[in-house]
């Protein structure tokens, strides 16, 4: 018997207008005080109440038109954004594992991850944080942008991603950490099925990112319902292994998965990384409006 990966069933639209209005009530939290490169308008419980004018900066794509100083435009024929004291502008980094191992399970891990990335990205944009999105495995990047009008480019970008290749987490995350000019809240959505996860997370934490890991697994990866003689094929390397799935083997496997998750949790805790294990059978509303709020990822 050969275990074949399920095809990701992505909906034609990630969210309808009603669901987006529900997401508008959420905000991404940062557990660290970080100095943004520019001032902005971050919706956060710790944001200051002052609206005192501080300075200007040139308008860039994705900025909120409501913040343009039209008097300055009349004088200089250039767009400038008003800046105010006690406001933050953080760059939210969203990293999505698009390697072949994610394209598996029922519900499919990749489809679940894309939907989670879409929701978290929209929440950042609606909160007027800057957002950048990068994929691992299937290489791609959405350059930094800001504001609700950028939600459609975000959704198009995510739905165009096709899972392929290997994640190579050590190389990918270390390179990302080294290249980042503005560390900030970083959400990694991955099944972590690559031996380089520890080196990669260590590099991100050492660079000063406020890291949250959403560890996405399918129900069959946590508690497989198998029996008999099977030929299992690695979805990324195509390596095959023959097993006989009996009670003892399955119990050892479940124990190994728990030990693996415990190892990741302890590693993350020691480095102030937020670790959130997620099974794709978890209803999506419960992920956003319950689990991530309890963990302090969203408010």
Residue of 32 and 114 predicted with greater confidence:
114
Taking the C-alpha atoms of residue 174 and residue 110, their distance in angstroms, rounded to an integer, is 23
pLDDT at 62: 64
Tell me the average pLDDT across 257-275.
97
Terminal alpha carbon distance of the chain: 46
How is domain 17-31+89-294 classified at the CATH fold level? Rossmann fold (3.40.50)
Taking the C-alpha atoms of residue 269 and residue 151, their distance in angstroms, rounded to an integer, is 32
Give yes or no for a contact between 202 and 53, defined as CB atoms under 8 angstroms apart: no
Tell me the average pLDDT across 153-166.
94
Summarize pLDDT for 172-226 with one digit per residue, the tens.
999 999 999 899 999 999 999 999 999 999 999 999 999 999 999 999 999 988 7
Torsion of CA 46, 296, 109, 132, to 10 degrees: 20
Q: In this structure, how many other beta carbons lie within 10 angstroms of the beta carbon of residue 34?
A: 16
The residues near 280 (Cβ < 8 Å, ≥ 6 apart) are 105, 106, 107, 108, 109, 112, 216, 217, 218, 219
Band of pLDDT at residue 1, cut at 50, 70 and 90: very low
In the chain, domain spans: 17-31+89-294, 53-84
Half-sphere exposure of 146 (CA within 13 A, CB side): 22
Summarize pLDDT for 46-83 with one digit per residue, the tens.
333 345 555 667 777 666 777 788 887 787 888 877 76
The 3-state secondary structure of 105-163, one letter per residue: CCCCHHHHHHHHHHHHHHHHHHCCCEEEEEEECCCEEEEEEECHHHHHHHHHHHHHCCC
Torsion of CA 108, 113, 115, 116, to 10 degrees: 140
pLDDT at 148 over 70: yes
Per-residue tokens: 33: 């005080």
Per-residue tokens: 65: 């038109």
268 class by beta-carbon count within 10 Å (0-12 exposed, 13-18 middle, 19+ buried): buried
Taking the C-alpha atoms of residue 140 and residue 142, their distance in angstroms, rounded to an integer, is 7
Tell me the average pLDDT across 222-249.
78
Per-residue tokens: 240: 């095959």
pLDDT at 70: 83
Tell me the average pLDDT across 116-144.
94
Pairing of strands 91-97, 185-190: parallel
Q: In this structure, how many other beta carbons lie within 10 angstroms of the beta carbon of residue 218?
A: 21
pLDDT at 113 over 90: yes
pLDDT at 89: 67
pLDDT at 21: 94
pLDDT at 149 over 80: yes
Question: Can you name the residues that pair with 80 across neighbouring β-strands?
Answer: 58
The mean pLDDT value of the chain amounts to 85
pLDDT at 4 over 90: no
pLDDT at 8 over 70: no
pLDDT at 188: 98
pLDDT at 69: 82
Give yes or no for a contact between 171 and 139, defined as CB atoms under 8 angstroms apart: no
pLDDT at 97 over 90: yes
Band of pLDDT at residue 7, cut at 50, 70 and 90: very low
Q: In this structure, how many other beta carbons lie within 10 angstroms of the beta carbon of residue 146?
A: 23
Residue of 253 and 211 predicted with greater confidence:
211
Helix axes of 247-270 and 197-207: crossing angle, nearest 10 degrees: 20
DSSP symbol at 68: B
Pairing of strands 53-58, 130-136: unpaired
pLDDT at 23 over 70: yes
Q: In this structure, how many other beta carbons lie within 10 angstroms of the beta carbon of residue 293?
A: 14
Residue of 58 and 95 predicted with greater confidence:
95
Residue of 229 and 130 predicted with greater confidence:
130
């Amino acid at each position: 018997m050969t275990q074949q990966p399920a095809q990701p069933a992505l909906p034609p639209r990630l969210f309808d207008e009603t669901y987006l209005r529900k997401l508008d009530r959420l905000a991404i939290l940062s557990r660290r005080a970080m100095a943004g490169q520019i001032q902005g308008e971050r919706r956060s419980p710790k944001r200051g109440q002052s609206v005192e004018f501080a300075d200007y900066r040139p308008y860039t794509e994705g900025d909120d038109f409501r913040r343009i100083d039209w008097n300055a435009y009349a004088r200089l024929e250039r767009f400038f954004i008003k800046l105010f004291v006690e406001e933050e502008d953080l760059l939210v980094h969203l990293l999505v594992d698009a390697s072949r191992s994610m394209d598996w399970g029922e519900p499919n891990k990749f489809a679940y991850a894309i939907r989670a990335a879409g929701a978290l990205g929209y929440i950042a944009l609606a909160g007027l944080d800057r957002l950048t999105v990068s994929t691992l495995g299937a290489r791609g990047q959405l350059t930094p942008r800001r504001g609700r009008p950028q939600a459609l480019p975000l959704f198009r970008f995510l739905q165009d991603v096709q899972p392929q290749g290997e994640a190579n987490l050590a190389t990918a995350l270390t390179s990302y950490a080294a290249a980042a000019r503005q560390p900030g809240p970083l959400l990694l959505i991955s099944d972590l099925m690559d031996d380089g996860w520890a080196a990669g997370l260590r590099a991100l934490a050492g660079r000063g990112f406020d890291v949250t890991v959403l560890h996405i697994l399918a129900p069959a990866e946590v508690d497989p319902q198998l029996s008999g003689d099977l030929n299992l094929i690695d979805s990324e390397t195509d390596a095959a292994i023959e097993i006989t799935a009996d009670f003892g083997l399955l119990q050892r496997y479940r124990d190994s998965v728990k030990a693996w998750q415990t190892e990741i949790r302890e590693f993350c805790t020691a480095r102030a990384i937020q670790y959130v294990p997620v099974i794709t059978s978890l209803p999506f509303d419960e992920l956003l409006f319950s689990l991530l709020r309890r963990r302090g990822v969203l408010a």
